[in-house]
């Protein structure tokens, strides 16, 4: 039960990221590279502070290979996600993101020869069918921008690889702190290369900072902590609940109200998750 509650809390944090970034990039009109810097910077400050206060500087001595892979895959996710957040609705964006995550993590589970039970495969197929149902042509639930979908797929691949990398980390808090700090360097390079960012309304800074410090920084640290206890395939399926939470958040905060097709998709996704939890 404790593990279930922790995973549920992480899924809520992930969904909040979709809504908060949509608010900053689309709602306030901030440049995506600026939002990425704010998000990674706030997360780095919080995570480094917690790491130094709770564990000391010696905990930051982590395998360079793990840190470099974590930095690169985190930035890949941030890059695709930040731009796509301004192009597609929060709920649809989360669907595309975590559909891509699922594929990436299932491929990772297959490569590492993790045992995939019959019910887990059936559950994954049913849940993915729910995603396809929502994204079928003719849906009135949301506008779907092809460029936004492509960038969100890129972000999903990055997040899937980041999650797989996190399964081998012994100190999730310190690793996440280092990942955010080093990915911030890449984001600052992106910001410098973009020319003259600075569009948008000032209030958009706050959801970007909240996304970095709370739902990203603390949420990712908790995710890294629970990942070793969760099979890669099951972690992929659990993340399919995020789009449903994000869509509800988008409806409440952004007036992006889902239509009937959303609820059909929700039934398939949640049913698939339920089936995947069967042990045999």
Is the whole model's pTM more than 0.85, yes or no?
A: no
In the structure, what pLDDT confidence band is assigned to residue 45 with cuts at 50, 70 and 90? very high
Report yes or no: 85 and 18 within 8 Å, Cβ to Cβ.
Answer: yes
**Burial of 195 from C-beta contacts in 10 A (0-12 / 13-18 / 19+):** exposed
Report yes or no: 267 and 130 within 8 Å, Cβ to Cβ.
Answer: yes
150-173 per-position pLDDT tens digit: 899 999 999 889 888 877 777 888
d(CA 204, CA 71): 25
- Full residue range of the structural domain in which residue 255 is found: 2-276
Q: Which of 127, 70, 82 is nearest to 103 (CA)?
A: 127
Mean pLDDT, residues 27-50: 92
Q: Residue 141's pLDDT is what?
A: 53
Which stretch of 35-39, 132-136, 139-143, 259-263 has the lowest confidence by average pLDDT? 139-143
Q: Residue 39's pLDDT is what?
A: 95
Q: Residue 137's pLDDT is what?
A: 67
Identify each DSSP E strand in the chain by its residue range. Answer: none
Three-class DSSP category at 230? coil
Q: Residue 74's pLDDT is what?
A: 94
193-242 per-position pLDDT tens digit: 887 666 788 899 999 999 999 998 888 778 777 877 877 667 766 777 78
Three-class DSSP category at 88? coil
Report yes or no: 110 and 266 within 8 Å, Cβ to Cβ.
Answer: no
Structure tokens at 26: 């689309």
d(CA 61, CA 47): 15
DSSP state of 212: I
Domain count for the chain, please give it: 1
Torsion of CA 154, 157, 158, 159, to 10 degrees: 120
């Amino acid at each position: 039960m404790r593990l279930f509650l922790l995973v549920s809390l992480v899924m809520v944090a992930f969904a909040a990221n979709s809504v908060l970034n949509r608010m900053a990039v689309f709602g306030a009109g901030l440049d995506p590279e600026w939002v990425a810097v704010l998000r990674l910077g706030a997360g780095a400050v919080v995570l480094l502070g917690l790491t130094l206060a709770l564990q000391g500087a010696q905990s930051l001595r982590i395998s360079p290979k793990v840190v470099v892979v974590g930095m690169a895959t985190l930035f890949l996710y941030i890059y695709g996600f930040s731009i796509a957040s301004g192009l597609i609705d929060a709920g649809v964006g989360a669907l595309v993101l975590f559909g891509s995550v699922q594929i990436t993590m299932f491929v990772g589970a297959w490569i590492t020869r993790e045992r995939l039970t019959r019910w887990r495969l059936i559950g994954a197929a049913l849940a993915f069918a729910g995603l396809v149902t929502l994204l079928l042509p003719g849906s009135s639930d949301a506008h779907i921008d092809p460029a936004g979908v492509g960038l969100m797929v890129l972000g999903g691949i990055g997040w899937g690889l980041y999650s797989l990398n996190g399964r081998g980390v012994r100190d999730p808090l310190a690793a996440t702190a280092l990942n955010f700090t080093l990915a911030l360097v890449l984001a600052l390079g992106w910001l410098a290369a973009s020319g003259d960012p600075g569009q948008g309304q000032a209030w958009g800074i706050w959801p970007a900072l909240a996304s970095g410090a709370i739902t990203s920084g603390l949420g990712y640290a908790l995710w890294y902590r629970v990942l070793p206890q969760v099979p890669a395939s099951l972690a992929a399926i659990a993340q399919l609940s995020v789009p449903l939470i994000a869509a509800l958040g988008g409806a409440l905060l952004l007036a992006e109200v889902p239509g009937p097709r959303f609820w059909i998709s929700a039934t398939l996704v949640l049913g698939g998750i339920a089936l995947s939890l069967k042990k045999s």
